[in-house]
């Protein structure tokens, strides 16, 4: 009989409680239940004594003695995290409704609904209050019914007036989408995506091996790798959103962002080539060209970094500066990369950088955005924009992020979003004194050109200015690097006295 070691039910629309019987799968090493709608508590024990007890004495998931990786993030779980799970090597539980305030839980308003509706079920409470519910519930239904009727009447009148006012216009077809929850009529242009190539879900399933070739995932997206019939490699970003969360606001935002991405045409941007939009099953996917040499982050931090030599790092830095200049100053309106990091810079076989803006879609699918009713690029329609997402859509934030990527290229030190301040604070101690620039250099690097290093460090200083308004544009940063950094073969050769001597001997 085959032993089950891995269960991956990520984004499968599961609901209800986690069954304690999972604890009987004693060979289980990895359990992924993230991005579902699971409720209740995690079956296990919070007794610290249980941690040292034998697996036979434990209950629920605490019985899984071989479990090393568990992901329960982005459900609606409540209560406390069992003590036994805290000992596991890789534990992900953010995005729930736990009592522990140290964990990044869901917004309070989302957890309040879950706690109220499921509390009696979870705690085994009695139904004594059910006798008084019909009266207030009936009153509430009457009030809501009257409000909805009045709202629909007003919206219908407003729609007729707008249609009459536009009757002399250009005749572009519009779809009227209305919801009493949104309290606003949203106009969606049916022709908005007319010039963007479209693929069917079936075509993408064939290209991505029936969506089995997963190369990345988060609670908002799943990324698949595929191969087109003509041999092109693609990355397919699937938005993990239940249809009941997909309002007309989000649909309009989605369509506008597809158009935004489709207009990007630069050698250092991984082009969005097609999209997929279907109703049954509900599907929203984006198709990008896929540079097959991994990300800059992987080459700098997951390997030994030897493949990324100093001349190669300098050329990568110059290419990224040029593409940001193009996005920020040559496009109208300007385009800012969302959550720009070394993980969003992919490399070709020739180590040419290609930016893929996956984070833009993660910001779209995030629950606070879905509930806010906001079109970010088109201006607010109802409510305020979540500042956690607005900070991504900012060219000044891109300039700061570029400075951080330069630091990663120089130092070889990793800088995820949560560690950015640590890397920058460490670097600032040496950036104020040119004689200490060398202390920033990755020990694995050889033949570092000190003139180039000085120019790049000065650019870093400008990019990471704590006051965003003082950061120069990427037009200026790119010009500083282009004018000051020499990437010629002769310069790279002179950086190594041994190589230079060998070249001189070969010439003579």
Residue 384 pLDDT exceeds 50: no
Would residue 363 count as lying in a domain?
no
> Do 322 and 432 reside in the same domain of the chain?
yes
> Do 84 and 170 reside in the same domain of the chain?
no
Tokens at residue 378, please?
Answer: 């088109």
> Do 60 and 11 reside in the same domain of the chain?
yes
User: Coil, helix or strand for 127?
Assistant: coil
Q: Which range (299-303, 363-367, 379-383) has the least confidence?
A: 379-383
Average pLDDT over the chain, rounded to an integer: 76
Backbone angles phi, psi at 231, to 5 degrees: 95, -10
Helices 474-484 and 395-411 cross at an angle (nearest 10°) of: 30
Domain extent for 28: 6-123
Task: Report yes or no: 20 and 59 within 8 Å, Cβ to Cβ.
Answer: yes
> Do 153 and 110 reside in the same domain of the chain?
no
pTM higher than the cut 0.85? no
Residue 268 to residue 262: CA distance in whole angstroms: 14
Burial 392-403, CB ≥16 within 10 A → b, else e = bbbbbbbbbbbb
Instruction: State residue 88's pLDDT score.
Output: 81
Q: Average pLDDT in the 365-387 region?
A: 43
Task: Report yes or no: 411 and 342 within 8 Å, Cβ to Cβ.
Answer: no
* Per-residue pLDDT reduced to its tens digit, 67-104: 888 988 888 889 888 888 877 877 888 878 888 767 77
Q: Average pLDDT in the 237-261 region?
A: 84
Tokens at residue 147, please?
Answer: 């409000």
Would residue 102 count as lying in a domain?
yes
Would residue 131 count as lying in a domain?
no
Instruction: State residue 177's pLDDT score.
Output: 39
User: Band of the pLDDT at 164, cuts 50, 70, 90?
Assistant: low
| CATH number for the domain that contains residue 455 | 1.10.510.10
Number of domains composing the chain = 3
Would residue 90 count as lying in a domain?
yes
Would residue 405 count as lying in a domain?
yes
> Do 327 and 459 reside in the same domain of the chain?
yes
Instruction: State residue 316's pLDDT score.
Output: 96
Ranges 91-100, 138-147, 222-231, 411-420, most confident = 222-231
Number of DSSP helices (H) and strands (E) in the chain, helices first: 16, 15
Q: Average pLDDT in the 95-121 region?
A: 65
Helix (H) or strand (E) holding 355: strand 353-355
R_g of the chain, CA atoms, integer Å: 27
| CATH number for the domain that contains residue 38 | 3.80.10.10
Would residue 300 count as lying in a domain?
yes
> Do 298 and 428 reside in the same domain of the chain?
yes
Residue 361 pLDDT exceeds 70: yes
> Do 27 and 155 reside in the same domain of the chain?
no
Report the percent of the chain where pLDDT is more than 90: 29
Q: Average pLDDT in the 449-453 region?
A: 92
Burial 133-168, CB ≥16 within 10 A → b, else e = eeeeeeeeeeeeeeeeeeeeeebeeeeeeeeeeeee
- Domain C-terminal end among 91, 123, 155: 123
Residue 31 pLDDT exceeds 80: yes
Instruction: State residue 76's pLDDT score.
Output: 86
Nearest-5° Cα angle at 463, 461 to 468:
115
Residue 443 to residue 461: CA distance in whole angstroms: 21
Would residue 210 count as lying in a domain?
no
> Do 140 and 109 reside in the same domain of the chain?
no
Residue 37 to residue 73: CA distance in whole angstroms: 10
> Do 466 and 507 reside in the same domain of the chain?
yes
DSSP classification of residue 437:
G
Would residue 129 count as lying in a domain?
no
- Domain C-terminal end among 168, 189, 210: 189
Q: Average pLDDT in the 359-367 region?
A: 68
> Do 427 and 299 reside in the same domain of the chain?
yes
Give the DSSP letter string of 162-182.
Answer: HHHHTTTS----EEEEEETTT
Instruction: State yes or no: cis peptide before 281, omega within 30 of 0.
Output: yes
> Do 106 and 150 reside in the same domain of the chain?
no
User: Band of the pLDDT at 123, cuts 50, 70, 90?
Assistant: very low
Q: Average pLDDT in the 424-430 region?
A: 90
Residue 380 pLDDT exceeds 50: no
- Domain C-terminal end among 167, 189, 211: 189
Backbone angles phi, psi at 48, to 5 degrees: -60, -25
Residue 406 to residue 335: CA distance in whole angstroms: 21
Task: Report yes or no: 252 and 188 within 8 Å, Cβ to Cβ.
Answer: yes
> Do 14 and 140 reside in the same domain of the chain?
no
Instruction: State residue 172's pLDDT score.
Output: 30
């Amino acid at each position: 009989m085959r032993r089950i070691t891995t269960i991956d039910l990520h984004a499968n629309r599961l609901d209800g409680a986690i069954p304690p019987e999972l604890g009987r799968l004693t060979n289980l090493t990895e359990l992924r239940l993230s991005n579902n709608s699971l409720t209740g508590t995690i079956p296990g024990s919070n007794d610290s004594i249980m941690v040292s007890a034998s697996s036979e004495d434990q209950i629920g998931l605490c019985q899984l003695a071989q479990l090393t990786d568990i992901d329960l993030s982005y459900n609606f779980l409540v209560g406390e995290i069992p003590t036994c799970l805290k000992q596991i090597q890789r534990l992900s539980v953010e995005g729930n409704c736990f009592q522990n305030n140290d964990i990044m839980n869901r917004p309070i308003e989302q957890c309040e609904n879950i706690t109220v509706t499921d509390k009696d079920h979870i705690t085994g409470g009695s139904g004594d209050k059910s006798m008084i519910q019909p009266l207030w519930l009936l009153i509430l239904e009457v009030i809501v019914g009257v409000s909805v009727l009045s709202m629909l009447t007003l919206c219908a009148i407003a729609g007729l007036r707008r249609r009459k006012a536009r009757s002399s216009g250009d005749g572009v077809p519009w779809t009227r989408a209305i919801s009493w929850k949104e309290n606003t009529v949203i106009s969606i242009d049916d022709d908005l995506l007319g010039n963007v190539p479209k693929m069917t879900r079936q075509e993408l399933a064939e290209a991505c091996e029936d969506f089995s070739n997963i190369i990345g995932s988060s609670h908002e997206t799943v990324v698949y790798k595929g191969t087109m019939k003509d041999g092109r490699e693609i990355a397919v970003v699937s938005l993990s959103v239940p249809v009941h969360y997909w309002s007309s606001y989000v649909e309009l935002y989605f369509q506008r962002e597809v158009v935004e991405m489709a207009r990007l045409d630069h050698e250092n941007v991984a082009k969005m080539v097609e999209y997929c939009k279907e109703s049954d099953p509900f599907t929203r996917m984006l198709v990008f060209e896929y540079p097959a040499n991994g990300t800059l982050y992987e080459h700098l931090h997951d390997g030994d970094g030897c493949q990324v030599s100093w001349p190669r790092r300098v050329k990568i830095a110059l290419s990224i500066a040029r593409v940001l200049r193009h996005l920020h100053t040559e496009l109208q309106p300007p385009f800012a990369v969302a959550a720009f990091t070394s993980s969003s810079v992919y490399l070709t076989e020739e180590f040419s950088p290609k930016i893929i803006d996956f984070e833009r879609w993660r910001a779209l699918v995030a629950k606070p955005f879905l509930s806010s009713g906001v079109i970010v690029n088109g201006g607010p329609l109802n409510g305020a924009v979540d500042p956690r997402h607005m900070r991504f859509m900012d060219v000044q934030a891109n300039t700061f992020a570029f400075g951080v990527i330069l630091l990663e290229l120089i130092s070889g030190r990793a800088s995820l979003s949560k560690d950015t301040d640590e890397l920058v604070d460490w670097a600032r101690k040496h950036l104020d004194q040119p004689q200490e620039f060398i202390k920033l250099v990755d020990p694995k690097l050889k033949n570092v050109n000190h003139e180039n290093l000085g120019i790049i460090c000065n650019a870093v200083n400008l990019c990471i200015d704590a006051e965003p308004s003082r950061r120069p544009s990427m037009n200026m940063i790119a010009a500083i690097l282009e004018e000051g950094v020499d990437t010629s073969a002769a310069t790279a050769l002179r950086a190594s006295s041994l190589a230079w001597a060998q070249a001189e001997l070969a010439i003579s």
